[in-house]
Chains A and B, each alone.
Chain A
């Protein structure tokens, strides 16, 4: 019977039931009419018609059953049969399910990350109508590094656009007011900016809190309702308004025991009193999926928290700092809004240009979709995720090929069974359907197990991605979308790897199969094709893994010039807790001495930040540095405490390092790096010479020369150029990072260090506790992740492919037992037989490589931007991947080859 028609009937159940009922009613009516014309009274005629018809309801059900139940009962039959077959071949089932589960698990994991990073909308009302305002222009610095741009200062992130342009979402406050006033396209416009990490004190307990400053329209514009209390509105966002704060749901639980208990409570933000007026809903994380503020403050309250600096930001039309989003009015498209606003913004920004050169490169407004929030995370991760997705798709393809291969081998074994069934009159489609049911069942089992793997995979990958960061906010989860996709993938895989073997084993030419139980060459060719495809795909993954491992290796072998191991780092911000000059320098220095006295701590020092992150915390001195009349180009100034060079094990080449003699009142000093000394003093001794700081209105005297060190990140050559260390007592940073060189595991000293800080001042929280090694690894977390994941993927792929190859060869050896027996009977040596099988393995591998090497070279160019110090066509990596692959293939082929050489010629011939 045609299963498709049955399925169609089954799906059309409702329609068909109605038709059936109508037919039966008509029948009864016609019968009654006939009886009436024969002279029966109408009532009696109707009753008689029913009586003769029999039980109407029962017959109706009987008729429906024909198309409803039979479909289900046959499906049930197939499933029971499938379960029996699976149970009878436990090794096969186990292997198939496991390899599928790994493939589907990997896909589900990566897809759930893609979903949360690239696809998921903000949890706010009608996210589709939100747009983010950005602008782009040519780079603000020309080839001579001369700035010619209306943007004189930027607080926030800019990212590179096409062809050397830059783009950012930061605007001057004046531009925000302009856009807010233009209300023909937006129903609401709201602004916000990152308030960075503030010290939040609740009932005397201080800790760090990620802060977002938001305008009064922010929560209303997003359409968010409070979990408790009320949210910030326009009345809160005025100069002179009562200081109000909204906290995140998580913060309300962590610090107050629940949202209801938080409302109305007084808090201190950097020692400034605020009142908690409300709590944001639990799912809300602001507008940036990469961040999750703990604290939302009215925009204007930055005047209280940040003081004079903040007051200067508002009127300065050349200082870019506020970000904004708008909600489109119904019926207005992004393009219309862009057209309206771009010209207005252009006019406004043109008026802020001070020179003709500034006027030549004005920012141009662009509107981007805001449904998924800000795009920083997407820009950072979309390419890596697509690369990873391609890899896991390959793994799944290898797994599918593997199962198709195993099924083909089994189909050959079951060919007699199929031939018997077909010749006994089973429809081909019925048999194919039953085989497909089996393979889809395998796939579903694999999928179910794969989802379990994915739960684990998501956790593992989150750890890998966050790499120890405390405030990592990306939380991928297995939601219904993801699970739906996994289920679809499973069923598709089942159909994919089941269809060819099913068609193969039910080919209508049943006679040869009935005769000798052997199949022709077609199944074998299909098997070999699959084996070649597996080899080719595994090679791609091996090569990718090789490239990424090499990249990581290059990054790890970058010369730092300072100690990486046995250093503990943590940060304090005493200024946020109310410490002021000049007392703050003494406070920091006193702490340093107490850290140094911890048993096991060899040396303790402080600086404005860790060396690797230093470029991001800015220069320790304002304005240019000069030696005489010459500007020092490309030098970085780092404020460091006593013993910095010793603690970091940076060699002192001349003079001395900064030490306790350098006090706020004494002569300002500096230590310069060797390269700087070579560049500006050539062969003279720089010790005793001076560096002039015009903007600071003072000079520093060079007291020593340090060996070169890599300043800033591992990848940027420029950042490592030249360094000027100045005394932290003389150029005091707000926030300091302590570095403790320890005996043994640095993390063993964390508690003691925390105690010391608490004893000194409990209002100062200890943040960013990390070892130097981990701090450095964080800057290459993506490369670490790629190297680890790809190695795992490559091993997985190689193992799966080897199992496939082993299966193919075992089967082909079993098939050729007779031939091998004859050869051996004719005097072939065991070695010859082994070589005969291995030669075939090598041939398969060679064909696979021949396909894969050009593909790998082509594909690797796409990942060039993810590599460091490694060419995408690196010949060494190519050779190594090929070697590993061929070795693995030979190992997989050796067992069948050995078995072939052990064939007893007599037994084999007797079977023939």
Chain B
């Protein structure tokens, strides 16, 4: 495991967006979400695993995702999360905000 992957605490709130984005591609359980983010970021982003669960509860309470008991690819009983219509809207909002934010940061960095 050569280089230490970066923890994603540089952008507060981005964990919600990453979860929504992941679930917009496929339905997954908690551990699956962590693995997906890690893999699709080319091991650059390491989700703080413990923080995943409060985030999932928050998203579910807001009605953005739905959790239901199902079976993982390894045949284990787990809560599988699905994104809702409201969740997709929220993902759009957050994606736009994120784009604005990164653009702004890029401008600042470019100007420097």
Contact = CB atoms under 8 A, between A and B. Distances in A.
Contacts of B54: 59, 62-63, 65-66
A5 B65 CA distance: 13
Given A30-B74, A31-B31, A2 B57 contact: no
A26 B30 CA distance: 9
Contacts of B63: 1-2, 5
B4 to A, nearest CB: 12
A54 B49 contact: yes
Given A1-B62, A26-B30, A26-B76, A56 B57 contact: no
A59 B61 contact: no
A66 B50 contact: no
B58 interface: yes
A53 B58 contact: no
A67 interface: yes
Interface in A22-69: 22-24, 26-27, 30-31, 52-56, 58-60, 62-67
B67 to A, nearest CB: 8
A693 to B, nearest CB: 93
B78 to A, nearest CB: 5
Interface in A1-23: 1-2, 5-6, 9, 19-20, 22-23
A23 B79 contact: yes
Contacts of A62: 53-54
A23 B53 contact: yes
B81 to A, nearest CB: 10
A710 B49 CA distance: 96
A22 B69 CA distance: 11
B31 A63 contact: no
Interface string B54-85: 10111001110001010010101111000000
Task: Indicate the member of A1, A9, A23, A58 with the most B CB atoms within 10 Å.
Answer: A23
Contacts of A6: 61
Contacts of A55: 50
A790 to B, nearest CB: 54
Contacts of B56: 63
Residue with the greatest number of chain A CB neighbours at <10 A, chosen from B48, B57, B74 = B57
B57 A27 contact: no
A30 B31 contact: yes
Interface string B70-104: 00101011110000000000000000000000000
A27 B30 contact: yes
Q: Is the interface of A mostly helix, strand, loop or mixed?
A: helix
B10 interface: no
Interface residues of A, number: 29
Interface string B18-47: 000000000001110010000000000000
Contacts of A1: 61-63
B78 A23 contact: yes
A2 B86 CA distance: 13
B62 A27 contact: no
B53 A67 contact: no
A23 B30 contact: yes
Nearest to A71: B61
Given A9-B61, A27-B31, A59-B54, A52 B76 contact: no
Contacts of B79: 19, 22-23
Contacts of A26: 29-31, 76-78
A350 to B, nearest CB: 72
A66 B61 contact: yes
A9 B57 CA distance: 10
Contact of A66 (B48, B58, B69, B74): B58
B107 to A, nearest CB: 29
Contacts of B62: 1
Contacts of B69: 19
Contacts of A70: 61
Most chain B CB within 10 A, of A1, A19, A30, A62, is at A30
Contacts of A66: 54, 57-58, 61
Q: Which of A5, A19, A62 has most chain B Cβ within 10 Å?
A: A62
Contacts of B30: 23-24, 26-27
B78 A59 contact: no
A26 B29 CA distance: 10
B57 A59 contact: no
Interface in A348-371: none
B53 A63 contact: yes
Given A26-B31, A31-B31, A20 B61 contact: no
Contacts of B61: 1, 5-6, 9, 66-67, 70
Nearest to B69: A19
Contacts of A30: 31, 72, 74, 76
Contacts of A52: 49
Tell which of B50, B51, B54 has the most Cβ of chain A within 10 Å.
Answer: B50
A23 B79 CA distance: 7
Given A23-B79, A59-B53, A54 B48 contact: yes
Nearest to A27: B31
Nearest to A61: B54
A66 B53 CA distance: 10
Nearest to A49: B49
B104 to A, nearest CB: 23
A16 to B, nearest CB: 8
A31 B47 CA distance: 13
A94 to B, nearest CB: 39
Contacts of A67: 57, 61
Nearest to B58: A66
A9 B79 CA distance: 16
A153 to B, nearest CB: 78
A20 B57 contact: yes
B50 A59 contact: yes
Contact of A56 (B29, B50, B72): B50
Contacts of B50: 53-56, 58-59
B57 A53 contact: no
A26 B48 CA distance: 16
A27 B49 CA distance: 9
Contact of A53 (B49, B72, B78): B49
Nearest to B76: A26
B53 A54 contact: no
Nearest to B56: A63
A70 B79 CA distance: 23
Interface string A703-720: 000000000000000000
Contacts of B49: 27, 31, 52-54
Query: Which of A2, A27, A31 has the most C-beta atoms of chain B within 10 angstroms of its own C-beta?
Result: A27
Contact of A63 (B34, B48, B57, B77): B57
Given A2-B63, A5-B61, A54-B48, A60 B29 contact: no
A871 to B, nearest CB: 64
Q: Indicate the member of B34, B49, B58 with the most A CB atoms within 10 Å.
A: B49
A475 B109 CA distance: 85
A208 B10 CA distance: 92
Interface string A664-691: 0000000000000000000000000000
A65 B55 CA distance: 11
B25 to A, nearest CB: 20
Nearest to A55: B50
A58 B63 CA distance: 24
Contacts of B29: 23, 26
Nearest to B34: A27
Contacts of A31: 31, 49
A24 B52 CA distance: 10
The 6 A-B residue pairs whose C-beta atoms are closest, nearest first, are A54-B50, A59-B50, A66-B57, A62-B54, A30-B31, A63-B54
24 contacts: A1-B61, A5-B63, A20-B53, A22-B79, A23-B79, A24-B30, A26-B29, A26-B30, A26-B77, A26-B78, A27-B52, A30-B74, A31-B31, A31-B49, A52-B49, A54-B48, A54-B49, A54-B51, A58-B50, A59-B50, A64-B57, A66-B58, A66-B61, A67-B61
Given A54-B50, A59-B54, A65-B54, 8 more contacts: A19-B69, A23-B30, A26-B77, A31-B31, A31-B49, A52-B49, A66-B57, A70-B61
